[in-house]
């Protein structure tokens, strides 16, 4: 549902509001969008029977799990430790490349239907500022986006943020967002989320320091796989929980579930409006999850976790970017506070959208109004504007259905790209 028109901004493409102002007939349908999406979205993260070997994936398994697997296959437990090292440290992609393991063990793994679970990179696009967007080609020929954003900070330190997707497309189909325009295919499995981070590390040849679940899809509609990926990224890839952010536009009855896991990661809620009426115009699902209910759940999340909630606010010229809007937003947050932070995101234009990016003066005035009303605020730096920055844009240029396998058919299906494509 993170049907996000993201701007490869300071932390990565960000979940912008989930919809364009739609006709009344469409808005009426939107009130049940979230509920329908939750009911109909498939859950590939659910373990399948071993009779389906394509589901036997090593990536995402813990060291203990891999040791148990080795024992189950008649090996000593240290073979599981070797597997762990090969997958997470050496980042080996194919079982037959596990040359440290006996050939018989490798063959047994393959015959039992196991695979590493890594996908090839289908396309790489590099922006002038160093931001890199990747398309990974999944096993079912679907394409998913992930983004790497390098930032050099003061005192010589450097940060590399991976912005990861949680779904192939988005079931909410918000017209505000490029991802929604591309339609929805399925949920990602946990290893398909983890491998995005590993791909970014390989492209940049250094460790990812931060992960934001702000790519294609709505994390809360695939919460089981997101939590599994979060565990793996923390424990196995060794990225600190406080270096990760999970973003959502708000799905009923999910924040309480997330809070129960007591994660130390940041929760980012895509708000985009200071009142219910305006939010319904920008975020179609707001009718089924009213602003007051969302804010109540955010307050309970803060009380349960003692972790500050960050509100994403996409600034849309002439829609929600006035000083009056800022003052109203401050009043709303004080009513439901404390423990809030606002992250302002100047809209990143996408093809076919009626929304416009606000002028810099309007952004500064909005931020100043929040600060004068004692609201902590930051303005996200836009990144990768020359690399199809908004979430879903690059994927939509290539695919709205699975890739065909015939080369000639593929050539006619893909539009000509006017991007600087890196090999």
- Ordered domains of the chain (ranges, CATH): 60-115 (1.10.150.530), 119-422 (3.20.20.70)
The whole-number pLDDT of residue 351 equals: 74
Instruction: Establish whether 298 is a catalytic residue.
Output: no
Q: Which residue in 145, 228, 312, 328 is the catalytic one?
A: 145
Torsion angles phi and psi, residue 285, rounded to 5: -70, -5
Residue 369 has pLDDT above 90, yes or no: yes
Residue 228 has pLDDT above 80, yes or no: yes
Mean pLDDT score across all residues of the chain:
82
Q: Could you report the per-residue pLDDT of 185-227, keeping only the tens digit for each?
A: 999 999 999 999 999 999 999 999 999 999 999 999 999 999 9
Question: Among 109-113, 264-268, 346-350, 402-406, where is mean pLDDT lowest?
Answer: 402-406
Confidence of residue 181 (pLDDT cuts 50, 70, 90): low
For residue 306, is it left (φ>0), alpha (ψ between -120 and 50) or beta? left
Q: Which pTM value belongs to this model?
A: 0.81
21's CB contacts (< 8 A; 6+ apart) are 281, 282, 354
Q: Which residue in 163, 232, 391, 411 is the catalytic one?
A: 391
Q: Is the separation of the CB atoms in 307 and 341 below 8 Å?
A: no
Q: To the nearest whole percent, how much of the chain has pLDDT over 90? A: 65
Q: Which range, 175-189, 239-253, 383-397, has the best average confidence (pLDDT)?
A: 239-253
Please report where in the chains the tokens 């804010």 appear, as a residue: 295
Q: Could you report the per-residue pLDDT of 317-358, keeping only the tens digit for each?
A: 999 999 999 999 999 999 998 878 999 999 888 777 888 999
Q: By C-alpha distance, which of 299, 373, 369 is closest to 338?
A: 299
The whole-number pLDDT of residue 152 equals: 82
The Cα-based distances of 369 to 217, 269, 331, 339 in angstroms read 32, 21, 11, 19
Q: Could you report the per-residue pLDDT of 261-307, keeping only the tens digit for each?
A: 999 999 999 999 999 999 988 888 888 999 999 999 999 999 999 99
Instruction: Establish whether 145 is a catalytic residue.
Output: yes
- Per DSSP, the three-state class of 355 is coil
């Amino acid at each position: 549902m993170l049907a996000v028109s993201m701007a490869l901004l300071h932390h990565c493409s960000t979940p912008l509001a989930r919809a364009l102002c739609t006709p009344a007939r469409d808005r009426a349908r939107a009130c049940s969008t979230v509920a329908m999406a939750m009911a109909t979205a498939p859950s590939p993260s659910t373990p399948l029977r071993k009779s389906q070997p394509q589901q036997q994936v090593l990536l995402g398994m813990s060291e203990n799990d891999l040791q148990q697997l080795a024992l189950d296959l008649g090996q000593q437990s240290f073979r599981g430790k070797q597997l762990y090292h090969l997958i997470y440290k050496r980042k080996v992609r194919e079982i037959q490349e596990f040359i440290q393991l006996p050939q018989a063990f490798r063959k047994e793994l393959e015959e039992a239907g196991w695979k590493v679970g890594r996908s090839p990179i289908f396309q790489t696009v590099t922006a002038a500022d160093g931001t890199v967007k990747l398309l990974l080609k999944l096993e079912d020929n679907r394409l998913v986006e992930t983004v790497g954003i390098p930032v050099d900070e003061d005192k010589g330190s450097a940060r590399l943020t991976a912005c990861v997707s949680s779904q192939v497309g988005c079931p909410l189909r918000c017209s505000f967002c490029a991802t929604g325009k591309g339609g929805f295919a399925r949920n990602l499995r946990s290893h398909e989320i983890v491998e995005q981070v590993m791909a970014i590390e390989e492209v940049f040849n250094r460790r990812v320091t931060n992960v934001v679940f702000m790519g294609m899809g709505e994390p809360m509609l695939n919460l089981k796989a997101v939590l599994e990926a979060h565990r793996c990224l923390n424990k196995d890839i060794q990225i600190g929980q406080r270096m990760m952010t999970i973003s959502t536009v708000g799905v009923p009855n999910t924040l309480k579930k997330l809070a129960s896991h007591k994660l130390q990661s940041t929760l980012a809620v895509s708000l985009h409006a200071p009142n219910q009426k305006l939010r319904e115009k920008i975020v179609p699902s707001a009718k089924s999850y009213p602003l007051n209910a969302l804010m109540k759940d955010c307050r309970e999340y803060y009380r349960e976790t003692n972790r500050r909630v960050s509100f994403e606010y996409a600034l849309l010229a002439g829609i929600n970017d006035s000083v009056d809007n800022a003052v109203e937003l401050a009043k709303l947050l004080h009513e439901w506070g404390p423990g809030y932070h606002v992250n302002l995101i100047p809209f990143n234009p996408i093809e076919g959208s009626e929304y416009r990016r606000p002028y810099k003066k309007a952004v500064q005035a909005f931020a100043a109004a929040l600060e004068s009303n004692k609201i902590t605020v930051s303005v996200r730096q836009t990144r990768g504007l020359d690399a199809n920055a908004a979430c879903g844009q690059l994927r939509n240029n290539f695919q709205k259905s699975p890739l065909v396998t015939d080369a000639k058919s593929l050539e006619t299906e893909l539009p000509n790209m006017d991007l600087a494509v890196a090999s």
